[in-house]
Amino acid sequence: MTKIAATFNELVDLWMPYHRQFIKESTYSNYSNIVDNHLLKDFHGEKLSIFTNQLLQKYVIDKCNNGSLKRNRLSVKTVKDIMVVFKLLLRYSFTYGLRDSFDLSVRYPKMTQSMKPMIITNKDIRKIVITVSKGEDQKDIGILFSLLSGLRIGEICALRYGDICLQTDSILVSRTLQRIYTKKDKTRIIETSPKTASSIRNIPLSIELKRVLDLKIKNQEFYILSNSTKPVEPRLLRNRFNNILMLNKLPHYKFHALRHTFATKCIEIKIDYKTISTLLGHSNINTTLNLYVHPSHSQKKKAINKLTASIIT
């Protein structure tokens, strides 16, 4: 290597073009935003030798808790995303001899109740379903796709009629659509492979979705949400969902709450966790368990009473 990095920003200049060879364009965009919006702002010009476990642990805590205003504090998930990039940078610096050692072991504050997945209530679900079932906007189908199939918003926006197989009544999820941020173009829409290899999956087509899709004479290359060759980007689908919430005077649920609700309902009706994990496209069943399996007080009480009955009788 002809150039040696002495400071953090010099390390970034070496690492970014190197790492870009191995990751998707959308991932590179996310990493670039983390570097520009957080790491370079916080550590520009700092020598690489300062990055000890103690400093990194303090950095994590500060990012989570020390915003001057509550709205400026970052979620644990966001801080974890920042530290993923930080860890890659420091590993690179160690591998290429830019640091004497590599060690990154930090702990994160516990996730508060407000950070746990937001689930839409049964009453609110009914209001949403009644509104979207009227079929006033083609984008409403996307809301049903998330609620009834658990698809991510980018996966829904990338769906074409050709992804629907009527012979097997299944949906092939093989692409995702997203707007990425670039320094040159500001933002642009890209269509790429889904989040992980496990996200490429076949999902059964429900009777309700089959009914609303009206698949008889559709061009196979048309996007489902637009009925044309031009897709509907996630921002527009979110806007439509927000309009439905306002129309029904409902709480401000995030669009992703539809996916959380799908997963939670699957658990409530006792679908096995492996099946739920596969439907959601999780790479590991532990992701499903950690996100969604939180027994309620009534469930725990029922378990205790059942155990007691088996011991006493």
Neighbouring-strand partners of residue 172? 202
Q: What is the pLDDT of residue 241?
A: 97
DSSP string for 116-127: SPP---HHHHHH
pLDDT at 277 > cutoff 70: yes
* Predicted pLDDT of residue 186: 78
pLDDT for residue 73? 73
pLDDT at 164: 92
- Please choose, from the candidates 125, 116, 127, the residue with its C-alpha nearest in 3D space to the C-alpha of residue 258: 125
Q: What is the pTM of this model?
A: 0.76
Distance of alpha carbon 116 from alpha carbon 130, whole angstroms: 27
pLDDT of residue 305: 81
Which CATH number is correct for 122-260, 1.10.443.10, 3.40.50.720, 3.30.43.10, 3.90.1170.50? 1.10.443.10
What does the pLDDT read at residue 2? Answer: 45
pLDDT at 129: 93
| pLDDT of amino acid 288 | 82
* pLDDT for 86 beyond 70: yes
Alpha helices in the chain (DSSP H): 8-20, 25-34, 40-43, 53-65, 76-95, 122-133, 140-149, 153-157, 207-213, 234-247, 256-268, 273-280, 285-292, 297-312
Share of the chain above pLDDT 90, in %: 42
Q: List the chain domain ranges.
A: 8-113, 122-260
The model's confidence at residue 140, banded by pLDDT at 50, 70 and 90, is very high
**What tokens does 117 get?**
């997945």
What is the predicted pLDDT for the residue at 85? 93
- Could you give the CA distance from residue 173 to residue 201 in angstroms, rounded to a whole number? 5
Lowest pLDDT segment from 16-20, 61-65, 119-123, 292-296: 292-296
Top mean-pLDDT range of 182-186, 209-213, 236-240, 276-280: 236-240
Q: Are 225 and 141 in contact (CB under 8 A)?
A: yes
In this predicted structure, what is the pLDDT of residue 39? 93
pLDDT, tens only, 174-192: 999 998 877 666 788 889 8
CA distances from 248 to 36, 39, 75, 124, 145 (A): 39, 41, 29, 9, 20
- pLDDT the model gives residue 69: 40
Report, as an integer, the average pLDDT of 237-256: 95
pLDDT value of residue 247: 94
CATH tag for 8-113 (out of 1.10.150, 2.40.160, 1.10.530, 2.60.40): 1.10.150
Q: Distance between CA 126 and CA 12 in Å, rounded? A: 50
Residue 77: closest CA among 283, 233, 242, 290: 290
pLDDT digits (tens, 9 = 90+) for 10-50: 999 999 999 999 988 888 989 999 999 899 999 998 988 88
Predicted local confidence at residue 63, as pLDDT: 87
**Percent of the chain beyond pLDDT 70?**
87
